[in-house]
């Protein structure tokens, strides 16, 4: 089944800025696509880098002016899951910037000693039950500890808390940014992949989008690895971002007790 995705990002560049964009589907997903970057109507040509998970990053230097970024693509799931290696279960068991699993403390105690399969079922359900989805309630530097204290956030906050609790319970977990047909409100979405029974299964504590239709964009430890825009140098302001993702066919309802693999 194919999906159509579209991203429009507007930036005001106040000082020449070097940026990294993560706004396109991972390698293997694309049927047809176009990525256009302009500043005051002049085309900018990014350099593409592909990481070990198939994440496609676009690095560009933007001159002063109004920058417009437009991506549109038709996508379909690849035949095989995203690349992984034997080190990943170790890499994604370690604490990270936004998912400090070593500092999560007593919050992880109810899940201590659970088999991985049970932890993967109970932890996202606990996060869903104990958090409120409140747009604008968190900031870009908030960690899982902030979310645990405030008990509210958006998808990345749900994902970071889920990751931290899974890792603290001995289950490797990583963050995936994705296009999510059926998501409301529509935006880039953040979900979690947990390593259980020798494979990476996707869970979503927000329960806001059907997992069968997710389109992988980026994979990493947390939002530090998967942000759609990273400014390496210079000065800019994000003016607006619009994301659209539509499945070409009927949307499959999600049963969150079911294991789902994200390609």
Closest CA to 68 of 13, 140, 5, 4: 13
**Percentage of the chain lying above the pLDDT 70 cut:** 100
CATH of the domain at 74: 2.60.40.2250
Same domain, 19 and 124: no
Tokens of 157: 């906050």
Confidence band (pLDDT; 50, 70, 90) for 250?
A: confident
Tell me if 259 is assigned to some domain: no
Task: Provide mean pLDDT across the span 167-176.
Answer: 98
Same domain, 147 and 217: yes
Same domain, 115 and 129: yes
Same domain, 205 and 121: yes
Same domain, 99 and 191: yes
pLDDT tens-place string over residues 120-136 = 999 999 999 999 999 99
Tell me if 98 is assigned to some domain: yes
DSSP-derived pairing of the beta strands 132-133 and 65-75: unpaired
pLDDT at 81: 82
Same domain, 210 and 238: no
Answer for the pair 162, 203: CB distance below 8 angstroms, yes or no: yes
How many distinct structural domains can be found in the chain? 2
Q: What is the pTM of this model?
A: 0.96
| Residue 8: count of CB within 10 angstroms of its CB | 15
Answer for the pair 260, 198: CB distance below 8 angstroms, yes or no: no
Query: In sequence order, what DSSP letters do the residues of 91-133 get, joined into one string?
Result: HTTS--SS--GGG-GGGGGGGTT--HHHHHHHHHHHHHHH-EE
Helix 155-168 / helix 116-130 crossing angle, nearest 10 deg: 140
Contacts (Cβ under 8 Å, ≥6 apart) of 211: 191, 202, 203, 204, 254, 260, 262
Answer for the pair 182, 210: CB distance below 8 angstroms, yes or no: yes
Same domain, 68 and 135: no
Write the Ramachandran bin of 259: left for phi over 0, alpha for psi from -120 to 50, otherwise beta. Answer: beta
Give the residue numbers spanning the domain of 100.
88-225
Confidence band (pLDDT; 50, 70, 90) for 213?
A: very high
pLDDT tens-place string over residues 39-50 = 999 999 999 999
CATH of the domain at 113: 3.10.620.30
Same domain, 30 and 43: yes
Tell me if 109 is assigned to some domain: yes
Same domain, 117 and 210: yes
């Amino acid at each position: 089944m194919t999906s159509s995705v579209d991203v429009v990002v507007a930036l005001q560049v106040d000082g020449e800025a070097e940026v990294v964009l993560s706004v396109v589907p991972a390698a293997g997903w694309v049927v047809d696509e176009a990525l256009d970057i302009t500043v005051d109507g002049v085309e900018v040509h990014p350099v593409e880098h592909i990481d070990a998970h198939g994440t496609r990053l676009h690095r560009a230097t933007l001159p002063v002016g109004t920058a417009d970024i437009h991506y549109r693509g038709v996508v379909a799931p690849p035949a095989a899951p995203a690349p992984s290696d034997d080190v990943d279960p170790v890499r994604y068991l370690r604490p990270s910037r936004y998912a400090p699993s070593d500092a999560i403390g007593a919050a992880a105690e109810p899940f201590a000693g659970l088999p991985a399969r049970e932890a993967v079922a109970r932890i996202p359900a606990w996060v869903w039950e104990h958090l409120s989805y409140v747009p604008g309630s968190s900031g870009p530097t908030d960690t899982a500890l902030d979310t645990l204290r405030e008990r509210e956030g958006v998808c990345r906050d749900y994902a970071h808390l889920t990751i931290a609790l899974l890792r603290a319970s001995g289950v490797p977990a990583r963050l995936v940014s994705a296009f999510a047909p059926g998501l409301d409100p529509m935006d880039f979405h953040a979900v979690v992949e947990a390593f259980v029974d020798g494979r990476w299964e996707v869970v979503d504590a927000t329960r806001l989008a059907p997992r069968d239709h997710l389109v992988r964009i980026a994979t990493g430890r947390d939002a530090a690895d998967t942000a759609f825009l990273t400014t390496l140098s210079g000065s800019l302001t994000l003016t607006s971002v619009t994301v659209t993702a539509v499945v070409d066919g009927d949307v499959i309802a999600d049963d969150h007790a079911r294991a789902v693999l994200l390609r």
